[in-house]
Amino acid sequence: MSAFTARFIGSGDAFGSGGRLQTCILVDAPGVRFAIDFGATSLAGLHKQGIDPNTIDAILLTHLHGDHCAGVPFLLLDAMLGAKRASPLTIIGPRDIQQLQATLFPGSSAMQPSFDLAYTEISPDTAATLSDPTITAIDARHTSQTNPLALRIDFGGKTMAFTGDGELTQKLIDFVAGVDLLVAECYFYSKSVKWHMNYPDISKLSAGNIVLTHMSEDMLAHVDDVPETCAFDGCVIEF
């Protein structure tokens, strides 16, 4: 197996289209394991696939919509009360990520973890590092109140990117160009909708391998009609 893998714990949209869980992509690279986004169903998805949440070193978040981040408070509560986590955990994402616990599970922020917990805010002006990987971001054209980002991770020898949610922009095209693996949201097959991409947008993106995710029922009806890999829960991509 390749030293770099991306496993889709959840490949769905906010509404469970196709019975899929919300966004969560587990990346394994030499010496580090991290999740990109952590929707409300992510903890259940990890258990369903037999993955110990305590083995995750970091969570990278693209924006503050619940289908991309609402699982974080449950992960933290489980780490403190059930799983008895001992290893450090880093949460990297846009501004206001530290408010997730108090907002989504009021009262729980009074509990203090026994493990090292660090929050790192990332922006187009501020990169983050995680062991070997370097994480950079650009603003995404999505609901502004969610502080939306697209993320690129450079491992030294490999690169991957995730569009997060957002419309196609020239900035996004340039940001992801040439990465080894691009995970791209593709909400509709042909219909244009504000704050999301559709399938015609995908042709404007270039990468060694493009995997489509966050698909509505409309796009799911066309997964056999497109040459790109269409993610599903449990799908594993080597890169």
Q: Give the tens place of pLDDT for each residue, 74-101.
A: 999 999 999 999 999 999 999 999 999 9
Q: CA 235, 26, 203, 165 torsion: positive or negative?
A: positive
Encoding tokens for residue 9? 């714990």
Tokens of 84: 């008895």
- Burial of residue 229 (CB within 10 Å: 0-12, 13-18, 19+) is middle
Q: Is the pTM here over 0.85, yes or no?
A: yes
Share of residues in the chain with pLDDT > 90 (%): 95
- For residue 175, the SS3 value is helix
Specify the DSSP class assigned to residue 20.
Answer: P
How many residues would you count in the chain?
A: 239
Q: Maximum CA pair distance of the chain? A: 50
Q: For the chain, give the mean pLDDT.
A: 96
CATH number at residue 59: 3.60.15.10
The angle subtended at Cα 12 by Cα 10 and Cα 16, nearest 5°, is 110
String of DSSP letters for 130-167: -SS-EEEEEE-BS-GGG--EEEEEE-SS-EEEE--S-B
- d(C-alpha 27, C-alpha 33), whole Å: 6
In single-letter form, the type of residue at position 204 comes to K
Domain containing 136 equals 5-238
Write down the pLDDT at residue 1: 44
- 139-160 pLDDT, tens digit each: 999 999 999 999 999 998 999 9
* Domains in the chain, number: 1
Give the closest residue to 65 by CA, choosing from 148, 181, 159: 148
- For the chain, percent helix, then strand, then coil, each to nearest 5? 25, 30, 45
What does the pLDDT look like over 172-212, one tens digit per residue?
999 999 999 999 999 999 999 999 999 999 999 999 999 99
Is residue 63 within 8 Å of 40, Cβ to Cβ?
no
Q: Coil, strand or helix: which one is 94?
A: coil
CB-based contact 10:214 (threshold 8 Å): no
* Bridge-based pairing state of the strands 58-60 and 89-93: parallel
How far apart are alpha carbons 190 and 60 in whole angstroms? Answer: 30
